[in-house]
């Protein structure tokens, strides 16, 4: 039986990259949890001596620190650098980009509207790069309350939905001389779904890996099941059954956004051991 992994699955590009950076910097600490998966955080501590600093106060003077995918506010970066340790920036490039855009648009005199949650670390970081007026909004209702200048620049939190972004754009265009829209939305979740759909259409059996409570994994499983009736949602290799694979030609694999690579590899290894 052939095993094929979906073209896009599991962690997004930015999280994969941050984990790789942490692994390459043993003995460092990460400022905040690198990902929302305790098994993975424990693995990094056990295998790579990468510990967790829950806040800036937790970072010891001279200690190497990894900045996670979300990024951090400009002022926090300054404080971190003052502590004298190596600062390892694992901020996702898709998050660094809106930070840079906000900085530049502020300098060029635009009022800045960020489509995102003012309490989310990513948005706290992005907003901190403004040197002029900057507002975080979650929809048109919030935008209506603002008093904006003639020229407005728009950026979005990477995980937001494009439809609501377009509603905000539609509200602003008739009311302003210039609306400069930067599409900073990242389609990682949709890419995983598209790739799962593509693979499930060709596979005889699909294994969907991720937490049983994970809503994005359940969504992946539901998509796979509609194209391949023999689709199974599992959390670990102990759930695998040899009979699922007997007589099959192609086994497809996908995983939810919070599933570490090593869990996926362990499961693929186990399927190979069945020698079907």
Task: Choose the stretch contacting a copy of itself; rule: CB under 8 A; options: 131-139, 177-185, 201-209, 218-226.
Answer: 177-185
DSSP designation for 237: G
| Pair 82, 104: CB distance under 8 Å | no
CB of 24 to a copy of itself, least distance (A): 29
Q: Whole-angstrom Cα distance, residue 137 to residue 46?
A: 40
| Sole window of 137-145, 180-188, 223-231, 253-261 interacting with a copy of itself (rule: CB under 8 A) | 180-188
Handedness of CA 117, 118, 119, 121 (dihedral sign): positive
| Neighbouring-strand partners of residue 209 | 234, 255
The single residue of 122, 191, 246, 273 carrying the catalytic annotation is: 122
The least CB distance from residue 171 to a copy of itself, in Å, is 9
Of positions 4, 23, 178, 273, contacts a copy of itself by CB under 8 A:
178
Q: Which of 16, 83, 120, 180 binds a copy of itself (CB under 8 A)?
A: 180
What DSSP character marks residue 84? -
Length of the chain: 276
- Distance in Å, CB of 114 to a copy of itself, minimum: 15
Asked if 276 interacts with a copy of itself (CB under 8 A), we say: no
Query: Is 45 annotated in the active site?
Result: no
Q: Which residues pair with 5 in a beta bridge?
A: 253
Residue 113 binds to a copy of itself (criterion: CB under 8 A): no
Report the residue from 132, 140, 148, 182 that binds a copy of itself according to the rule CB under 8 A.
182
**Number of residues in contact with a copy of itself under rule CB under 8 A:** 16
Pick between residue 176 and residue 225 the one whose CB is nearest to a copy of itself. 176
Torsion of CA 88, 93, 97, 100, to 10 degrees: 10
Residue 189 touching a copy of itself (CB under 8 A): no
Nearer to a copy of itself, 50 or 172 (CB): 172
Q: What is the largest CA-CA distance in the chain?
A: 66
| Element (DSSP H or E) covering residue 266 | helix 261-273
Q: Indicate whether 173 belongs to the interface with a copy of itself (CB under 8 A).
A: yes
Cβ atoms 231, 221 nearer than 8 A: yes
Q: Which residue has the tokens 């919030």?
A: 142
> Which of 100, 104, 131, 170 is close enough to bind a copy of itself by CB under 8 A?
170
**Which member of 9, 165, 244, 245 binds a copy of itself (CB under 8 A)?**
165
CA distance 135 to 43: 38
SS3 259: coil
CB atoms within 10 A of CB 147: 7
Supply the minimum distance, in Å, between the C-beta of residue 67 and a copy of itself: 24
Q: Which residues bind a copy of itself (CB under 8 A)?
A: 162, 165-166, 169-170, 173-174, 176-183, 185
Q: Which residues are catalytic?
A: 122
């Amino acid at each position: 039986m052939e095993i094929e992994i979906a073209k896009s699955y599991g962690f997004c590009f930015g999280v994969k990259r941050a984990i790789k950076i942490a692994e390459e910097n043993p003995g460092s600490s990460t400022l905040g949890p690198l990902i929302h998966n305790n098994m993975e955080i424990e693995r990094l501590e056990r295998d790579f001596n990468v510990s967790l600093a829950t806040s800036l106060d937790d970072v010891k003077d001279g200690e190497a620190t990894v900045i996670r995918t979300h990024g951090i506010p400009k002022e926090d970066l300054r404080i971190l650098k003052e502590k004298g340790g190596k600062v390892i920036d694992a901020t996702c490039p898709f998050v660094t980009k809106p930070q840079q855009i906000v900085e530049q648009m502020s300098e060029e005199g635009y009022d800045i509207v960020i489509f995102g949650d003012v309490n989310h670390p990513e948005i706290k970081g992005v907003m901190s790069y403004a040197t002029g007026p900057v507002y975080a909004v979650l929809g048109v209702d919030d935008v209506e309350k603002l008093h904006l200048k003639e020229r407005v620049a728009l950026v979005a939190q990477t995980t937001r939905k494009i439809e609501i972004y377009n509603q905000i754009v539609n509200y602003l265009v008739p009311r302003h001389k210039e609306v400069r829209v930067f599409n900073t939305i990242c389609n990682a979740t949709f890419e995983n779904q598209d790739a799962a759909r593509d693979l499930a259409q060709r596979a005889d059996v699909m294994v969907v890996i991720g937490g049983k409570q994970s809503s994005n994994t359940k969504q992946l499983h539901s998509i796979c099941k509609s194209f391949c009736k023999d689709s199974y949602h599992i959390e670990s290799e102990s759930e695998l059954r040899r009979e699922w694979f007997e007589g099959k030609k192609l086994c497809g694999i996908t995983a939810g956004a919070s599933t570490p690579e090593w869990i996926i590899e362990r499961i693929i290894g186990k399927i190979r051991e069945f020698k079907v």
